[in-house]
């Protein structure tokens, strides 16, 4: 899949991303939501595309948490591993 700005994809969050989400939630400041865990699959909106080569697409995006805030992430590569984005399956 060739990424484009504004497209919603899935991302399997890694332990660092989960920790960032939980840390932001714990700070409060109007942020609410459920605990994030490594391996959770969340929606991510692509906000910048850096590379469109098949198999190595690199993007910046905003991960939509299971709460009322987003986590900005950079240089996320395409794949199915932890910390990578992938096309949502058709249902």
Per residue in 68-91, pLDDT (tens digit) is: 999 999 999 999 999 999 999 998
Q: Is the CB of residue 8 less than 8 Å from the CB of residue 45? A: yes
Place of tokens 């700005």: 5
Q: Would you place residue 28 in the very low, low, confident or very high pLDDT band (cuts 50, 70, 90)?
A: confident
Measure the CA–CA gap between 4 and 59, rounded to whole angstroms: 9
pTM of the model: 0.92
Secondary structure of residue 8 in the 3-state scheme: strand
Q: Is the CB of residue 40 less than 8 Å from the CB of residue 18? A: yes
Secondary structure of residue 42 in the 3-state scheme: strand
């Amino acid at each position: 899949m060739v990424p484009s700005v504004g497209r919603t994809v899935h991302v399997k969050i890694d332990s660092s991303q989960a920790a960032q989400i939980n840390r932001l939630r714990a700070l409060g400041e109007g942020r609410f939501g459920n605990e994030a865990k490594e391996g959770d699959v969340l929606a991510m909106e692509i906000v910048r595309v850096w590379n469109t080569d098949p198999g190595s697409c690199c993007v910046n995006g905003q991960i939509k948490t299971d709460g009322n805030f987003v986590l900005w992430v950079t240089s996320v590569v395409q794949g199915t591993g932890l910390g990578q984005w992938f096309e949502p399956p058709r249902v």
